[in-house]
Amino acid sequence: VHQKELDELSAIWEAVYTARDWVNEPQSYLSAPQFAEEVLLWAKQTGFNAEIFHKKQIESLKMGGLLSVNKGSVQPPVFMVLEWKPKKARGSGAKARKPVVLVGKGVVYDTGGLSLKPTPGSMDSMKCDMAGAAAVAATLGAAARMQLPVHLIGLIPATDNRPSGEAYAPGDVISISDGTTVEVLNTDAEGRLILADALHYAKKYEPQLVVDLATLTGSAVLAIGSQGAVVMGSAGSDTLAGLSKSGQAVHERLAVFPLWDEYGEMLKSHIADLKNIGGREAGAITAGKFLQHFTDYPWVHIDIAGPAFLDGESSYRGKHGTGFGVRLLLHFLKNMHNER
């Protein structure tokens, strides 16, 4: 075993355990602003760039999804823009220079808002609702440590989702930063609203690929449990196959779901451009279909609601936060570069 391989392995496990620590931190400590501070420290330690947008900047960007979900909170929202840009990236074509953008859902605690989570115990683990954001930030740190020759952008919208006198309510119509109007029928379908703003923001980078990770739906958990994550997207079969191959290699497996046009019909609203829920059937897919509306680039959505947080021991994954997605992304990004 060469020293370079040992260094790479060290960078990966440190990133996984950092992601796990963030997921396991209770909301009483890890508010959205505190999460941003943690990510800034991690960036300094590992060598990538991090910029934090605070509420005034978020308002100037008209991020209505993130601002609406945040209305019930006493803590302000943050939007994190992370970047790892290697000094020398292989390849001279325009495609080689375009970044890969990673987007992570950063709901640091989710009560469901005014659509309060109904079942006993369903809120107990909701400190894990920022597991996608944790995986993205951790991946940027490992990429920097490994000197991965891929230009990466990380985008993390972060807030908690709470009921209060100011909270957004079912029946509200909100505007996402691209101008899309959304009829909110369930305030517990909040992750897709904050991701919509981030996916629209990603357009400015003209990315070669965008991958979002999110603990998005209970439907994904009902479909395949905690044994893997649900994946769908517009990036094409080669990209989905590459991600699935990486998932098999690191035992962070993916089940590919369809994203047929007909699912979009379930999101049509009489009073807005979209509804934020599509009904009981195919909930993981209609959530993905909602996200797709805000993309105009090759895109993949990974719903990690099942494997992100475990109630019991599960082999190497341990108990509670698993850091799911970090090893998957790093394996995929490394292969993506090697196959150019």
- Of the residues 192, 275, 289, 327, only one is catalytic, namely 192
Which parts of 84-224 fold into alpha helices (H)?
Answer: 94-97, 131-146, 191-201, 218-224
Residue 116 phi/psi, 5-degree rounding, is: -55, 140
Which parts of 147-236 fold into alpha helices (H)?
Answer: 191-201, 218-224
What's 276-326 look like in SS3? CCCCCCCHHHHHHHHHHCCCCCCEEEEECCCCCEECCCCHHHCCEECCCCH
Instruction: Verify whether residue 162 is a known catalytic residue.
Output: no
- What is the distance between the alpha carbons of residues 25 and 194, in angstroms, rounded to a whole number? 21
The separation between the first and the last C-alpha atoms of the chain, rounded to the nearest angstrom, is 25
| Site of tokens 């060469």 | 2
Look at the alpha carbons of 170, 163, 157, 320 in this order and tell me if their dihedral is positive or negative: negative
- What is the distance between the alpha carbons of residues 194 and 207, in angstroms, rounded to a whole number? 20
- The 10 Å Cβ neighbour count of residue 180 is 18
Helix axes 326-338, 237-250, angle to 10 degrees: 120
Distances (CA, A) of 197 to 155, 179, 207, 268: 10, 10, 16, 19
DSSP secondary structure letter of residue 117: -
DSSP 3-state assignment of 218?
A: helix
Instruction: Verify whether residue 20 is a known catalytic residue.
Output: no
Q: Do residues 202 and 297 touch, judged by C-beta distance below 8 A? A: yes
Pairing of strands 209-214, 100-104: parallel
Which of the residues are catalytic? 117, 192
